[in-house]
Structure 1
Amino acid sequence: MVSTLVSIPGYYATEEIYNGSRTLVYRGYRETDHKAVVIKLLKNHYPSFSELLSFRNQYTITKNLNSPLIIQTYSLVTYQNGYALVMEDFGGISLKEWGTGKSLRNLTEFLQIAIALCNSLDILYRAQIIHKDIKPANILINPETKQVKLIDFSIASLLPRSTQTLISPNVLEGTLAYISPEQTGRMNRGMDYRTDFYSLGITFYELLTGELPFQSNDMMELVHCHIAKQVPLLGNREKTEH
């Protein structure tokens, strides 16, 4: 029986689990040993150089990050005019999907997730890597075991090994609702590992409250919020609601 989803030599796709504007993700297995895998593909049949570069970037940065807190990358294989990124499958779904429409009221559960995510950023810090797109959609959680793993290093940066050099963004990268002030490119300040901790703070806020601290459909208003506004305090928010 041949899969009608995608045809990648050595792999068998069993189901589509994500269909985005730029990428497709399938769950399947490796034919040689039937090991469960997740396969990420570029949706564009004729991908641009930057799209190809993002896939190579993901593979290059993650292939040596051997940690249970970071998604394990097995291989980067040629597929049609682009690449297929083959990763581990531990039965995870995105934290965004897992927490959709609810605020996290179990503080113990939140702390377990939060500690694991802080540890994952510590691993990146020690490896001198900036993820640059920390958000619930890029964090996987196993609904049963509550194990979490960080994914999607497509725009990540590897800092020079000699020093934690600040880097200046020349384009707006990342997801605006979670982006750090320095990552907006509107500040006279370089970017280092602390940008990920800011985005993680936004993620924590959303987990605890069920909503983002800054909400707007206007790009420049969101940028202004990150740069100039204080995040609403959770205590004040609770009092306002009651």
Structure 2
Amino acid sequence: MILLTGYQIAEKIYSGVNTVIYRGIWQKHNLPVIVKTLKSEYPTLEEITRLRHEYKIRKNLRNIEDIVNCYRIETNQNGVALTLEDFGGLALSKFLTATKINLKQFLEIAVQLVHSLGKIHQNQIIHKDIKPHNIIINPETYRVKITDFSISSRLVRENATPSYPSLLEGTLAYISPEQTGRMNRAVDYRSDFYSLGVTFYEMLTGELPFNAIDPLELVHCHIARIAPSPRSLKPEIPEAISAIVMKLLAKTAEDRYQSADGLRFDLETCLAQLQGSGNISDFSVGNADRAGQLLIPQKLYGRETEVAALLAAFDRISGVEPPQPPLSKLTGVGFFLAKPSKNIQG
């Protein structure tokens, strides 16, 4: 138990790798709070900086009611602590373990989450760690809020670098393909949609899209394997909802939803049909979706001739016969030749 001046700590509610979370009372205002502090008695500069970074991110989002508000940053022995809003909630991961939600409850929670995520993106912030552990739900009112901005970014787009799975930012089971650093693609706000898709998948089926023991295998699954649709696991899930989740889980960001508004429109359509007739009819998802931000596509279109010319020039200089047939399809901004350690950027 920690001793934080001005706060009465009641209980420990979570202990992670680097942080510990407590529930308590801010005595000055007699206000219930959540206290997030560092686990180590002598935290590293990196750990302290990450918590201070989270405080700065949260300060820019104080006007959004759909995220867990941050009151203050306090000095705690050799480190720091954040005091956060306590609205009587618990992590969605714990809630789903104890409670089986129906389709209507799923849609009501999903609509709230998408609305919250849209507000975050409007403030030019990428969350980068959307998962049930970072979603707080009040079990009585079903009000949900997003929390944990420790690795969030204010950048509209950033480049992820290849690294060992244990060193990647984010949670491996929910991480987007481009966030692994192995896609030669920048990370933008649409990365959060993929992680949200994994969360929806788990809420609907009780399972993750990919289950792998080896971390590198899990990275490969996110990049290259197509998950079975939720409907294939549970036939009672309507096709429209299954299609929404699979669109979120698209490997390339251009194939996912491009805005929270478009995603929320489809979810609200499903909810309205369910409330009106008790059924959800099939419809083409994504028709109301429009780009939420101006982003240059990370695909190359109509460059087969130029790519073939580049490959032929490379092979001519290196004295190798040109490959047959020529490359006909390109899926990213850059591509890797079959020859080791040679890389041409498109």
Relative to the length of structure 1, the TM-score reads 0.91
1:167 aligns with 2:158: yes
Partner of residue 108, structure 1: 104
Verify the 8 A CA contact 2:205 2:234 in the aligned structure 1: no
Verify the 8 A CA contact 1:101 1:210 in the aligned structure 2: no
Partner of residue 29, structure 1: 25
Q: Percent identity?
A: 52
The DSSP-based 3-state class of the residue aligned with 1:129 is coil
Q: 1:84 aligns with which of 74, 81, 86?
A: 81
Quote how far apart the aligned CAs of 1:100 are: 1.7
Quick one: structure 1 residues 144 and 103, their matched pair in 2 at CA, closer, same or farther if it must change by over 3 Å? closer
Q: How many residue pairs align between the two structures?
A: 229
Distance 1:13 1:238 in 2: 43
Partner of residue 233, structure 1: 229
Distance 1:136 1:212 in 2: 12
Quote how far apart the aligned CAs of 1:54 are: 1.1
Quote how far apart the aligned CAs of 1:15 are: 1.2
1:190 aligns with 2:207: no
Quote how far apart the aligned CAs of 1:67 are: 1.7
Quick one: structure 1 residues 217 and 101, their matched pair in 2 at CA, closer, same or farther if it must change by over 3 Å? farther
The DSSP-based 3-state class of the residue aligned with 2:24 is strand
Distance 2:37 2:201 in 1: 31
Distance 2:99 2:79 in 1: 38
- CA displacement 1:135-158 (0-9 Å, x = unmatched): 000100000000001011010001
Partner of residue 69, structure 2: 72
Quote how far apart the aligned CAs of 1:63 are: 1.7
Distance 1:115 1:50 in 2: 35
Q: Give the letter for the 2:170 counterpart.
A: G
Structure 2, gaps ≥5 residues long: 236-346
Partner of residue 157, structure 1: 153
1:128 aligns with 2:124: yes
Q: Give the letter for the 2:16 counterpart.
A: G
Higher Rg of the two aligned structures: 2
Distance 2:130 2:19 in 1: 18
Quick one: structure 1 residues 152 and 225, their matched pair in 2 at CA, closer, same or farther if it must change by over 3 Å? same
Quote how far apart the aligned CAs of 1:103 are: 5.7
Q: Give the letter for the 2:158 counterpart.
A: I
- CA displacement 1:18-60 (0-9 Å, x = unmatched): 1222211111111111011010110111111211111011100
Partner of residue 6, structure 1: 2
Quote how far apart the aligned CAs of 1:7 are: 1.4
Distance 1:29 1:6 in 2: 13
Q: 1:146 aligns with which of 117, 142, 148?
A: 142
Distance 1:216 1:102 in 2: 26
Q: Give the letter for the 2:141 counterpart.
A: T
Distance 2:203 2:131 in 1: 11
Partner of residue 178, structure 1: 174
Q: 2:50 aligns with which of 48, 51, 54?
A: 54
Distance 1:205 1:146 in 2: 19
Structure 1, gaps ≥5 residues long: none
Partner of residue 95, structure 2: 98
Which has the higher mean CA deviation after the structures are superposed, 16-25 or 40-49?
Answer: 16-25
Verify the 8 A CA contact 1:93 1:141 in the aligned structure 2: yes
Quote how far apart the aligned CAs of 1:217 are: 1.3
Verify the 8 A CA contact 2:66 2:144 in the aligned structure 1: yes
The DSSP-based 3-state class of the residue aligned with 2:234 is helix
Verify the 8 A CA contact 2:205 2:233 in the aligned structure 1: no
Verify the 8 A CA contact 2:71 2:84 in the aligned structure 1: yes
The DSSP-based 3-state class of the residue aligned with 2:68 is coil
Identify which of structures 1 and 2 has the higher relative contact order when contacts are C-alpha pairs closer than 8 Å and 6+ apart.
1
- Alignment RMSD (CA, Å): 1.3
The DSSP-based 3-state class of the residue aligned with 1:174 is coil
